Amino acid sequence: MTDTTASIRRLGVTGTDTGIGKTVVTCALAARARQLGRRVAAMKPLESGIEERPVSDRGLASDAERLRAACGNVHDLSLVRPYVLVEPLAPMVAAQRAGIELSFSRLEQTRTQLESGHDLLLVEGAGGLLVPITRDVSYATFFSRWSCELLIVAGNRLGVLNHVLLTVQVAEQAGLTVRGVVLSTISDREPSVAEATNFDVLQQLLPGQALYRFPWVERADDPDALAAAAAASGMDALL
pLDDT single digits (tens) 32-89: 999 999 999 999 999 998 765 555 444 446 999 999 999 999 999 999 999 999 999 9
Q: Which of 126, 112, 143 is nearest to 11 (CA)?
A: 143
In single-letter form, the type of residue at position 85 comes to L
pTM, whole model, 2 decimals? 0.93
CB within 8 Å of 159: residues ≥ 6 apart: none
158 forms bridges with which residues in the sheet?
none
For this structure, is 44 an active site residue? yes
Q: Which of 44, 81, 157, 163 is catalytic?
A: 44
> Could you report the per-residue pLDDT of 222-232, keeping only the tens digit for each?
999 999 999 99
